[in-house]
Amino acid sequence: MMMQLYKRRTDKTLEKQYDLQRSRYENMSTGGTGGKAGKASYVKSSSHETSIRELHHSTWADDDFKEFLEELDKAISQYHSDAGISSESDNSISSDKPDIESITSAVFDLLSPLDHNDIVHILNDIAEKLDVFEPDTSDD
């Protein structure tokens, strides 16, 4: 399925779906849950409480996800080799501009199963690491 999505990434909807699914596997390769399972990634609320990892990959270890991603990367390289597409021309498939909507959707899917305090802590840590905190304008 991942290779089929990858090969059809010229369709922006499928490109977003590929990116979302890939981000979920990357998350699960580092111990994450892959986000909350739902009917579709564009549905911001879901009645499902089960994570993607629990629902579809409960027997997989983190290393299994890492191996899956390595095999996917090999298959992508082989696809490019067979099609005579260089890695550089792959960049022309997707824009150099980040897809904010897809990133936001993936982050939402990953954070939504967590409780409020954990989400706030994670977002604050990210803001600190990216150095994007608002400047302190208080006159203490």
Please spell the DSSP secondary structure of 10-70, one letter per residue: TSHHHHHHHHHHHHHHHHHHTT----B--S-TT-S--S--SBHHHHH-TT--HHHHHHHHH
Task: Kindly tell me if the per-residue pLDDT of 62 is higher than 60.
Answer: yes
Measure the CA–CA gap between 121 and 136, rounded to whole angstroms.
Answer: 19
Task: Kindly tell me if the per-residue pLDDT of 87 is higher than 60.
Answer: no
- Summarize pLDDT for 92-129 with one digit per residue, the tens: 444 455 667 777 777 887 888 888 898 888 888 888 87
Give percent of the chain above pLDDT 70. Answer: 75
Residue 74's pLDDT band (cuts 50, 70, 90): very high
- Sequence-separated (6 or more) residues with CB below 8 Å from residue 16: 41, 99, 101, 102, 105
Q: pTM for the complete prediction?
A: 0.56
